[in-house]
Amino acid sequence: NTNKTLIKKLNDQGTLAHDELYQLLTAMDDSDAQYLYQLARVKREAVYGKDVYLRGLIEFSNYCKNDCRYCGIRASNDRAERYRLSAQEIIDCANTGYDLGFRTVVLQSGEDLSFSDDDICAIVSAIKAHHPDLAITLSIGEKEKESYQKYFEAGAERYLLRQETSNPDHYAYLHPASLSLAHRKQCLEDLKEIGYQVGCGIMVGSPHQTFDHIIEDLYYMKDFNPQMVGIGPFIAHKDTPFRNEPNGTLEDTLHLLGIIRLMLPHVLLPATTALGTIDPLGREKGILAGANVVMPNLSPRSVRRKYMLYDGKICTGEEAAKCHACMERRIAKTGYQVVPSRGDYR
């Protein structure tokens, strides 16, 4: 079977030619996929064993100056109920996370200009002062290199910034004219140069995305060699221009998780909330396809339903402790285990 031969070749060489990737992405049957996931698990276990790392996600503001066409908290969505947490509330969330056993928190927000660089640095250093062994990841969008440098010096060690798509025309279709793929990539280069562990990534099945675009994404990521890759299905949000667009599929997302694991064996790869939203066992399936990270929600319960990037987002009603316990139980059922460590890149 040619697909299995290709999967084995991808496993051994870490890459494939364009037409070979195209073949895999468009014509994998169930037994091919099972073979892909099996090899992906062997690769991830060789580096990370059976461990699954937790990242506690703190969604601290849903104000955003940008107007990405897919996103529920885009600036022009006047139906979004806006909120921002105070510095103290953010620090309290991180402390709660620490007490629950998290050793990584992700501070995520829209591009909210009311937080100055000094504000971000003060929050990062306060969290670090309480808990030097807690890793802090930022996910707050495009900034000047000088700003990234300041956050790094304040103690942030990791940064998530998905490129969303690696094709300039597709990028322009998804985003307002104020944003460009070239600038997004420049930010990723800046972050890497400063010394962050960097995460890039894409949405799977976003409107007008083709398999050729996805192959561009794979080559970009292979070349950029990030420490983390965040991928999840596109899910339509009712108050965006993409409200009637079809969602990305579970199958495409799982195929990509497996392929990315074979291309980047050391990568930290989350089974995302969006994957858990399109399928009740999506995150578990993601772990079994090669992912090794999950990101339970640590935001205060009162704001969770307001951080609606897409419709139907799960875990908006649960307390942090419940999400944490739920995730441990869910992962244990896959045969993998949540471990209470920082989960640094190896």
By CB under 6 A, name the binding residues for ligand 5AD. Answer: 70-71, 162, 164, 203, 232, 234-235, 237, 274, 309-310
Shortest CB 141 distance to ligand 5AD, Å: 9
- Pick from ligand 5AD, ligand FES, none: which does 164 bind, CB < 5 to 8 A by kind? ligand 5AD
Tell me the three state secondary structure of residue 283. Answer: helix
Q: Which is nearer to ligand FES, 107 or 298 (CB)?
A: 298
61 alpha carbon, distance to own chain's centre: 17
Report how far residue 90's alpha carbon sits from residue 19's, in angstroms, rounded to the nearest whole number: 47
- Is 282 among the residues that bind ligand FES (CB under 6 A)? no
β-strand partners of 138:
107, 159
Dihedral, 240, 246, 250, 252 alpha carbons, nearest 10: -110
Hey, what are 81's tokens? 């109920």
Shortest CB 193 distance to ligand 5AD, Å: 21
With CA atoms as reference, report the closest residue to 115 among 64, 80, 172: 64
Hey, what are 258's tokens? 């497996």
Strands (DSSP E) found in the chain: 51-54, 56-61, 104-109, 135-139, 158-160, 197-204, 228-233, 293-294, 337-339
Shortest CB 235 distance to ligand 5AD, Å: 4
> Closest-CB residue for ligand FES?
326
Shortest CB 322 distance to ligand 5AD, Å: 22
- Is 318 among the residues that bind ligand FES (CB under 6 A)? yes
- Is 319 among the residues that bind ligand FES (CB under 6 A)? no
> Identity (one letter) of the amino acid at 249?
T
Segment interacting with ligand FES, rule: CB under 6 A, options 162-170, 183-191, 321-329, 336-344 = 321-329
Segment interacting with ligand FES, rule: CB under 6 A, options 84-92, 130-138, 139-147, 323-331 = 323-331
* Stated length of the chain: 346
- Is 278 among the residues that bind ligand FES (CB under 6 A)? no
Q: Which is nearer to ligand FES, 188 or 338 (CB)?
A: 338
Residue selected from 296, 307, 310, 336 as contacting ligand FES according to rule CB under 6 A: 296
Residues 318, 321, 326, 331, CA torsion sign: positive
Residues that bind ligand FES (CB under 6 A): 296, 315, 318, 322-323, 326-327
